Amino acid sequence: MGDDDLAEGAVPDDIDQTDDAVLGSGPHLTGGRLILVGTPIGNLGDASPRMRQAIETADVIAAEDTRRFLSLAQRLQLSHTKRVISVFDHNEGHRAPELVEIIAAGETVVLLSDAGMPAVSDPGYRVVKACAEAGQLITSTPGPSAVLTALAVSGLPSDRFSFEGFLPRKSGQRKTLLTELKAEKRTMVFFESPHRIADAMDDFAEVIGIDRPMAISRELTKTYEETLRGTVGSLRDQAVDGLRGELTLVLAGATEVESAPEDHLGEVSALVDSGVRAKDAAGQVAKKFGLSKRDVYEAWLHRE
pLDDT at residue 27, as a whole number: 38
Percent of the chain with pLDDT over 90: 68
116-130, 170-184, 187-201, 281-295 — which is least confidently predicted?
Answer: 281-295
Percent of the chain with pLDDT over 70: 86
Domains and CATH numbers, the chain: 19-144 (3.40.1010.10), 147-251 (3.30.950.10), 261-301 (no CATH)
Count the alpha carbons within 13 Å of 270 in the hemisphere toward its beta carbon: 25
CA 143 – CA 40 distance, rounded (Å):
7
Per the CB < 8 A criterion, the answer to whether 296 and 285 are in contact is yes
pLDDT above 50 for 26: no
Q: How confident is the model at residue 14 (pLDDT cuts 50, 70, 90)?
A: low
Q: Can you tell me the mean pLDDT for 148-174?
A: 96
Q: Can you tell me the mean pLDDT for 167-191?
A: 94
Three-class SS of residue 1? coil
Q: Can you tell me the mean pLDDT for 51-57?
A: 94
Degrees to nearest 5, angle at CA 85 with 62 and 146: 40
pLDDT above 60 for 130: yes
Determine how β-strand 33-37 pairs with β-strand 108-112. parallel
pLDDT at residue 82, as a whole number: 78
Q: How confident is the model at residue 13 (pLDDT cuts 50, 70, 90)?
A: low
pLDDT at residue 160, as a whole number: 96
Q: How confident is the model at residue 24 (pLDDT cuts 50, 70, 90)?
A: very low
Which tens digit of pLDDT belongs to each residue from 221-279?
A: 999 899 999 999 999 988 666 677 789 999 999 986 657 788 889 989 999 999 999 99
pLDDT at residue 18, as a whole number: 52
* SS3 of 46-115: HCCHHHHHHHHHCCEEEECCHHHHHHHHHHCCCCCCCEEEECCCCCHHHHHHHHHHHHHCCCEEEEECCC
pLDDT at residue 238, as a whole number: 81
pTM of the model: 0.76
pLDDT above 70 for 95: yes
Q: How confident is the model at residue 121 (pLDDT cuts 50, 70, 90)?
A: confident
CA 153 – CA 169 distance, rounded (Å):
26
Torsion angle in degrees (nearest 10) through CA of 119, 173, 208, 221? 30
Kindly report the average pLDDT of the chain as a whole number. Answer: 87
